């Protein structure tokens, strides 16, 4: 048994008892209420689900298992996975055991490549990634064991599926990149490298310590963002029907592919490149301000700005921004992103609609990827997905461990609401 599985096996019975006792003692206590505005407004702020892997505080941003994200930027993504699942950072031995486990599961089956090769050449890389995950569903340990296993074993089968998906996802994602952008044949994994560095290797980017660090940082920062966002919530809902991790994660990632969610990084870099092209380099503050207004006046959003929960600069943006200032301060793309950071909040405040005028994670990530040679920005959400799969899968395993019920909130009709409020 791997040390991660061992640790979870020790923790889970206690967790189950804790939740059972909490619900028994306080099950009828009210923790939230719902207004008409919230019912029509994407349930914003309604507290109706539980997620223990991370929380997002409006004034602080992402906190993973009690640790603010800015204190985790030097960690490896594998350490974050261990932290998400168990609440503790791994010891050196536990880290090594997890890395070996992931590495032993890295081979992507040949039929996945056949399916992807049959897709139209202009398929979006996200459609290719999600298809690649979904087509592997036939290998689900959870689905195979379902009819014979006890409920108390669900987490164990879900963990097997999760580790298989995470072991393969970097190779799959790198293969999608090389296939979609005709970069030549696939590059096999290099077992001596950590998860993030290996991804750089398989993508075929220039392999330097700086590129490795950038990728590790990227994979750490995007790993989780509590449970209510579109991708996590979707993965949770699909998984709550006891659909296995392949179904649940690919569903969640389909949500991440939306321009108001993970695709915003592609949109944001697209905007930045358009700016550079129009002005033949980094624009002046006035030129960029005018372009932001053009965007807003044509009814579009400024991608990478605003957030459903955050009300401050996203610390994940800060982490990317700090990395960029240190390593690529002279790069035109980074300089334009930097200028947008000065301009966009002012414009959004004056515009007066967005509750949060500050940048989110998607405002800063693209410039770094572009700088390190990953120029095909429709691919960026795939990188986000590789990282976010860690959070979604951790939440899924914990939910199967706790026996979380099938999701079924009550919907009401507009006629019912009118009657209820006496409209």
φ, ψ for residue 56 (rounded to 5)? -120, 110
Is 218 a binder of ligand CMX (CB under 6 A)?
A: no
Is 305 a binder of ligand CMX (CB under 6 A)?
A: yes
Least spacing, CB of residue 39 vs ligand CMX, in Å: 14
Q: Are 272 and 371 in contact (CB under 8 A)?
A: no
Nearer to ligand CMX, 189 or 364 (CB): 364
Q: Are 239 and 162 in contact (CB under 8 A)?
A: no
Residues 6+ apart with CB under 8 A from 408: none
Residues of this chain, 338-377, that bind ligand CMX according to CB under 6 A: 353-356, 360, 362
Per CB under 6 A, which region of 2-10, 99-107, 119-127, 305-313 contacts ligand CMX? 305-313
Nearer to ligand CMX, 58 or 109 (CB): 58
| Tokens 């659909």 belong to residue | 243
Is 303 a binder of ligand CMX (CB under 6 A)?
A: yes
Is 301 a binder of ligand CMX (CB under 6 A)?
A: yes
Is 34 a binder of ligand CMX (CB under 6 A)?
A: no
Q: 150-155: which pairs have CB atoms within 8 A and are 24 or more residues apart?
A: 151/403, 154/242, 154/400, 154/401, 154/403, 155/8, 155/12, 155/397, 155/398, 155/400, 155/401
Angle between helices 125-135 and 245-256 (to 10 degrees): 170
Q: Report how far residue 381's alpha carbon sits from residue 188's, in angstroms, rounded to the nearest whole number.
A: 22
DSSP 318-375: HHHHHHHHHH-TT-HHHHHHHHHHHHHHHHHHHHT--S--SB-GGGTHHHHHHHTT--
- Where on the phi/psi map is residue 205: left (φ > 0), alpha (ψ -120 to 50), or beta? beta
Is 94 a binder of ligand CMX (CB under 6 A)?
A: no
Least spacing, CB of residue 259 vs ligand CMX, in Å: 7
What's the distance, Cα to Cα, between the start and end of the chain in Å?
Answer: 61
Is 61 a binder of ligand CMX (CB under 6 A)?
A: no
Nearer to ligand CMX, 82 or 358 (CB): 358
| Catalytic center residues | 261, 307, 362
Per CB under 6 A, which region of 189-197, 233-241, 260-268, 332-340 contacts ligand CMX? 260-268
Least spacing, CB of residue 341 vs ligand CMX, in Å: 13
Question: Collapsing DSSP states into helix, strand and coil, what is residue 108?
Answer: coil
Nearest to 389 by CA among 241, 195, 245: 245
Least spacing, CB of residue 167 vs ligand CMX, in Å: 25
Pick from 189, 252, 262, 364 the residue near ligand CMX by CB under 6 A: 262
Cα dist. 419→32, 36, 42, 46 in Å? 22, 12, 21, 22
Per CB under 6 A, which region of 63-71, 148-156, 181-189, 257-265 contacts ligand CMX? 257-265
Is 312 a binder of ligand CMX (CB under 6 A)?
A: no
Return the residue nearest ligand CMX (CB atom): 306
How many residues bind to ligand CMX according to rule CB under 6 A?
A: 21
Least spacing, CB of residue 41 vs ligand CMX, in Å: 7
Residues 6+ apart with CB under 8 A from 35: none
Per CB under 6 A, which region of 92-100, 169-177, 192-200, 299-307 contacts ligand CMX? 299-307
Least spacing, CB of residue 122 vs ligand CMX, in Å: 24
Which residues of the chain form contacts with ligand CMX (CB under 6 A)? 44, 229, 260-262, 264, 296, 301-308, 353-356, 360, 362
């Amino acid at each position: 048994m791997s040390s991660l599985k061992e640790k979870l096996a020790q923790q889970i019975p206690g967790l189950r008892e804790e939740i059972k006792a909490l619900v028994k003692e306080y099950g009828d206590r009210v923790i939230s209420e719902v207004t008409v505005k919230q019912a029509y407004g994407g349930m914003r702020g309604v507290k109706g689900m539980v997620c223990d892997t991370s929380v997002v505080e409006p004034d602080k941003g992402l906190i993973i298992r009690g640790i603010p994200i800015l204190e985790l930027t030097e960690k490896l993504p594998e350490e974050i996975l261990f932290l998400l699942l168990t609440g503790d950072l791994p010891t050196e031995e536990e880290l090594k055991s997890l890395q070996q486990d992931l590495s032993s599961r890295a081979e992507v089956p040949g039929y996945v490549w056949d399916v992807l090769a049959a897709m139209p050449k202009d398929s979006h890389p996200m459609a290719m990634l999600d298809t690649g995950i979904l087509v592997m569903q036939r290998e689900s340990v959870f689905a195979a064991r379902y009819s014979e296993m006890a409920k108390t074993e669900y987490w164990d089968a879900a963990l097997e599926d999760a580790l298989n998906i995470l072991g393969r996802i970097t190779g799959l994602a790198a293969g999608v990149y090389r296939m979609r952008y005709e970069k030549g044949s696939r590059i096999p994994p290099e077992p001596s490298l950590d998860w993030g560095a290996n991804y750089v290797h398989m993508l075929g980017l220039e392999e330097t310590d700086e590129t490795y660090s950038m990728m590790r940082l990227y994979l750490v920062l995007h790993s989780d963002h509590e449970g209510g966002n579109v991708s996590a919530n979707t993965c949770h809902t699909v998984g709550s029907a006891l659909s296995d991790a392949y179904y649940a994660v690919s569903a969640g990632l389909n949500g991440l592919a939306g321009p108001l969610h993970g695709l915003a990084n592609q949109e944001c870099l697209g905007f930045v490149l358009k700016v550079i092209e129009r002005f033949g380099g980094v624009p002046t503050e006035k030129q960029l301000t005018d372009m932001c207004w053009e965007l807003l006046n044509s009814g579009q959003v400024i991608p990478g700005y605003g957030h459903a929960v955050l009300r401050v600069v996203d610390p994940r943006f800060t982490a990317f921004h700090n990395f960029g200032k240190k390593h690529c301060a002279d790069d035109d793309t980074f300089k334009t992103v930097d200028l947008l950071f000065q301009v966009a909040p002012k414009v959004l405040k004056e515009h007066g609609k967005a509750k949060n005028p500050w940048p989110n994670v998607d405002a800063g990530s693209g410039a770094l990827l572009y700088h390190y040679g990953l120029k095909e920005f429709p691919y960026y959400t795939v990188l986000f997905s590789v990282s976010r799969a860690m959070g979604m899968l951790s939440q899924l395993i914990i939910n199967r461990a706790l026996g979380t019920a099938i999701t079924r909130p009550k919907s009401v009709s507009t006629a019912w609401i009118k009657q209820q409020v006496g409209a």
